[in-house]
Amino acid sequence: MTTVSDRLDAMQAQFPDMRLLGGSDIPERNRTDWSFLPPSDPLAVARPTSTEDVSKLMAACHASGIPVTPQGGLTGLCGGSRPLDGGIALSMERMSGIEKIDPDGMTMTVLAGTPLETVQKAADDAGMFFSLDLGARGSCAIGGNLSTNAGGNRVIRYGMARDLVLGVEVVLADGTVLPMLNTMLKNNAGYDLKQLFLGSEGTLGVITRAVLRMHPKPGCVSAALCVVDGYDKVLELLRTARRSLGPMLSAFEVMWGDYWHQATECVPGARAPVQIGDGTHVVLVEMQGLDADIDTPRFETWLEGVFASGAVTDGAVAQSLGDMAAFWATRDAAAEFANPAVIGPHISFDVGLPVKRMDEFAQQSKAALLTELGCQSVHYGHVGDGNLHIVAWVPGASPQPLPDVSRIVYGIVRGFGGTVSAEHGIGTLKKPYLGHTRGPDEMALMRRIKTCLDPENILNPGKVFD
C-alpha cells in the first residue's frame, strides 16, 4: 500500500532542485484562500523558482495524473486557488520581480508571483502608471490578477486586467512552455492564445510571466461625493460625467442609502463627509486629470452644473488628500462589515447587471431576501461598469444561510440577464450558478476547450465547472 509519505517521496525524487513541502511542512496559508472555505489537505506545496521548474512539475503531474492548483497571493474570494486534497499547490511566490521596463513601448515584464503593489510602485518609479488596483493590492500577485481577470476601482477608465496585458509566458498542463511575451499593442498574427489564460482561473495553463501595459501618470486627481435623489438622477449624473469628463472619469462608485447608513453610522470611527438627507444614493466621482491648473476648474465647473441642474441635491468636493481619503473610506468601509460591532458574518455578492436596471434589481433582491429569509442587505458598486456588490446577512444566524441567499440573489440576476460574477470569478463557490449566466452550449464549449488543453484534467480541476 502506498502511503502519502511514499507518494511525496516519489514526487520529490523527480525534482532534486526543488524541495516540496509536505505533511507538517505545508504552510497553513497555502491550504485555502480568502473564500473562507476550510483548509484542504494537499500532498505538497511546490515553490518553483523558474519556468523550467514549473514545466518539469507540470510534466510530472501530467504523467502521473496528480492535480495541480496554481497559487498567487491567495486573495481570491471564490476558492479558485484552494488546492485539492492530495494534489499539489503550485505557489508562485518565489517567482517574483520586475524583469524589464520599456518607457517607449510603455510595457513592464514581470514574473507571475510579483505582488500587484510592487508592480504599481515600479510603474510609478518609472514615471508611468499601472492602473489595476484593488483592496488586496499588497497581497495579491499579478499572475492571479491575470488568471482571474481582476477588475477593481478604475475599470471605467482603463479596463480590466485583460486590457492591461500584452503578452504572457504560460506553462500548459503537459509542461509545454508557450513564450508568448508579445510587447506590441497590435499583433494580429494568428490566434490571440493568451486570451485563453486570462480569466480562466488557472484551469487551462499556469501563467509564469507577463508583459503589462502601462499608462501615462495622471497629473492631478479630483473627487466629489454627490447626494442624489433617485436612481434616474444617478443615471443622469453618469451621462453628464461621461460627456464632460470623458476619458478622465476614473471612478463612478454608487452607494445606495442602505449601504451609506451602514458605512457611515455603524462602522466605528467612521464619519459621513456629506449628509444623505432626502437623497437615496451617494455617488463618489473621481477624475484623473492631466494638469491641475486646467482640469481642477473643469471638474468644479462640471460639478456646479450638476448642482444647478438639480441632478445633485448636496455634495462635497475634496479639498485635500485627506478629504479624498475620507471619501474613499466610505466606499471601502465594506471591509469593516465583518466586525461583529457592524454586521458580523455576512454574504457578499459581486453581480453584473445592465446599468439602467441596477436599482430595480436592488429593490427586488432586497425585498425577496427580507420576505423569504428575514435577510438584510445593502448595496454599492461600480455603476459605470454595471457591477453591483451586495452585502446580505440574516441577523443572528450562524452559519449564514449561503445556499438560500445565493439561490434568491442569483435567481433574480438570471431574470435580469445579469452575470453571477462581474469580477471575482467562479472558483468553487459559484459553480452551481454559472448556468444562470451561461447557456448549455457555452458550458459545453468551455468543457471542450478544457479537454483540448488539459486532457488529463490535472490543472485546477473542479474549479469554474465540473
Hey, which residues between 97 and 116 contact a copy of itself (CB under 8 A)?
102-106
Q: Which stretch binds a copy of itself (CB under 8 A): 18-26, 366-374, 390-398, 425-433?
A: 425-433
Is residue 94 within 8 Å of residue 113, measured between CB atoms?
Answer: yes
Task: Give 217 or 407: the residue with its C-beta nearer to a copy of itself.
Answer: 217
Task: Give 239 or 271: the residue with its C-beta nearer to a copy of itself.
Answer: 239
Reported as type and span, the H/E element at residue 167 is strand 165-171
**Shortest separation between residue 23's beta carbon and a copy of itself, angstroms:** 35
**Shortest separation between residue 106's beta carbon and a copy of itself, angstroms:** 7
For a copy of itself, the binding residue among 7, 162, 261, 407 (CB under 8 A) is: 162
**Shortest separation between residue 339's beta carbon and a copy of itself, angstroms:** 28
For a copy of itself, the binding residue among 7, 94, 121, 242 (CB under 8 A) is: 242
Does 362 bind a copy of itself (CB under 8 A)? Our answer is no
- Residue 182 in 3-state DSSP? coil
Distances (CA, A) of 87 to 2, 9, 33, 61, 98: 15, 14, 16, 9, 30
Distances (CA, A) of 426 to 68, 86, 224, 254, 463: 18, 22, 34, 24, 7
Cell 506590441 belongs to which residue?
184
Q: Which stretch binds a copy of itself (CB under 8 A): 46-54, 149-157, 312-320, 370-378?
A: 149-157
**Shortest separation between residue 327's beta carbon and a copy of itself, angstroms:** 22
**What end-to-end distance do the CA atoms of the chain give, in Å?**
30
For a copy of itself, the binding residue among 386, 391, 406, 429 (CB under 8 A) is: 386
Q: Which residue from 200, 159, 271, 201 is spatially nearest to 35, judged by alpha carbons?
A: 201
Contacts with a copy of itself, 185-214, as mask; x by CB under 8 A: xxxxxxxxx-xx-xxx---x----------
Residues 340 to 359: which contact a copy of itself by CB under 8 A?
A: 352-356
Distances (CA, A) of 394 to 34, 47, 374: 21, 41, 6
For a copy of itself, the binding residue among 10, 184, 335, 367 (CB under 8 A) is: 184
Q: Which stretch binds a copy of itself (CB under 8 A): 24-32, 47-55, 289-297, 321-329?
A: 289-297
Sheet with strand 98-102: strands edge to edge: 98-102, 107-111, 206-213, 165-171, 177-180
Q: Which residue from 103, 119, 102 is spatially nearest to 111, judged by alpha carbons?
A: 119
Task: Give 55 or 120: the residue with its C-beta nearer to a copy of itself.
Answer: 55
Is residue 380 within 8 Å of residue 440, measured between CB atoms?
Answer: no
Does 218 bind a copy of itself (CB under 8 A)? Our answer is yes
For a copy of itself, the binding residue among 124, 291, 372, 466 (CB under 8 A) is: 291
Q: How many residues bind a copy of itself (CB under 8 A)?
A: 95
Does 149 bind a copy of itself (CB under 8 A)? Our answer is yes
Residues 112 to 141: which contact a copy of itself by CB under 8 A?
A: none
Is residue 163 within 8 Å of residue 130, measured between CB atoms?
Answer: no
Neighbours of 114 (CB within 10 A): 27
Residues 427 to 456: which contact a copy of itself by CB under 8 A?
A: 430, 434, 437-439, 441-443, 445-446, 448-449, 451-453
The span from the CA of 337 to the CA of 349, in Å, is: 14
Reported as type and span, the H/E element at residue 236 is helix 231-245
